[in-house]
Amino acid sequence: MMQQSRSNRETPRSAPKGRQPSEVVRTMVTVVIARDQDSPTHLHPMVGETGYLGAIALATANLRLGQGDAKLDFSEIFGLSANGFFAPHEEAISLDREIDLLRVVTRWFEDLPSPLLLTWKGAEFDIPFLQFRALAANTPAKWLLTASQPDTEDLFTTGHVDLCRYLRFQTLSMSLDQALCEIGFQRDPTIRGLARLELTASGLLLLAANAFSLRGAISENVFNNFVDSFQVRARQFSVTRSHFGFYAADEAAKNG
């Protein structure tokens, strides 16, 4: 996948609408979800074939964009589950109901000053599902409405980047796991539940940074510095979340 997308390295970013700011700080957020098909404790029976939102992991990075320059640093990762139906680990946040999970994530997301949501086929799958579950739980979520708007390639102003489209793979059926394998993602069957979601969300941040470098939105040096900051944080996380030991090593290959 990355071999094909390297041909896009010289593709210029689309011109933004209106005046582009001289500098902006964005919080890049990746969202990975798990569906729970049968949770009798949920209070909202509007399910159909979608299932309930059983768990969610969010990973963040700080992106400072300036004219001809950028800085990118890994920030945080956390996982939440609804009533423990999705194998939490000791650092996870366990909530009683799906509606509580939706409210916590919505409140957290909408408190961010300039969020940039990053997904893999999110416009097609994850965002509509989350919108449906928010509707079922009568939980307004403005961030989902923003994310459902057409995304652009202008990292200064867009609210959502679907990486599958960004890398021109919208016609392919490649899964997120397949895409992550290109950056050395670990398919360890012993890592399950929220631990798996957290690794996937963090891997999606690495994939996004790689994609931005390939498309010329950030430099290779910025990408490599991001990998360094990512590994430092992964090392810290691995003290209490052993699954991050994989990312603490030099598994996330740098551009070169």
What would be the CATH architecture of the domain defined by 22-247? Answer: 2-Layer Sandwich (3.30)
Residue 256 binned pLDDT confidence (cut-offs 50, 70, 90): very low
Helix (H) or strand (E) holding 75, with range, is: strand 69-82
Single pTM value for the model: 0.84
Which of residues 196 and 189 earns the better pLDDT score?
196
pLDDT at 6 over 50: no
Helix-, strand-, coil-residue percentages of the chain, each rounded to 5: 35, 20, 40
pLDDT at 14 over 90: no
User: What integer is the mean pLDDT of 161-181?
Assistant: 82
CB count, 10 Å around CB of 178? 13
Alpha-helical (H) ranges within 122-255 are 126-136, 142-147, 163-166, 176-181, 193-214, 220-237, 245-248
pLDDT at 5 over 80: no
pLDDT at 216 over 60: yes
User: What integer is the mean pLDDT of 73-80?
Assistant: 93
User: What integer is the mean pLDDT of 181-204?
Assistant: 86
Widest pairwise Cα distance in the chain: 53
φ, ψ dihedrals at 41, nearest 5°: -80, -15
pLDDT in tens, 27-37: 999 999 998 76
CB 203 within 8 A of CB 185: yes
The winner for highest mean pLDDT among 135-139, 172-176, 200-204 is 200-204
Residue 105 binned pLDDT confidence (cut-offs 50, 70, 90): very high
Residue 55: CA atoms inside 13 Å, Cβ hemisphere, count? 25
Provide the mean pLDDT of the chain: 82
CB count, 10 Å around CB of 254? 15
pLDDT in tens, 118-159: 999 998 889 999 998 888 888 888 899 888 888 788 899 899
Domain range summary for the chain, segments of one domain joined by +? 22-247
Q: How far is the C-alpha of 72 from the C-alpha of 56, rounded, in Å? A: 24
User: What integer is the mean pLDDT of 46-52?
Assistant: 61
Burial of 212-229, coded b for 16+ CB within 10 Å and e otherwise, reads: bbbbebbbeebbebbbeb
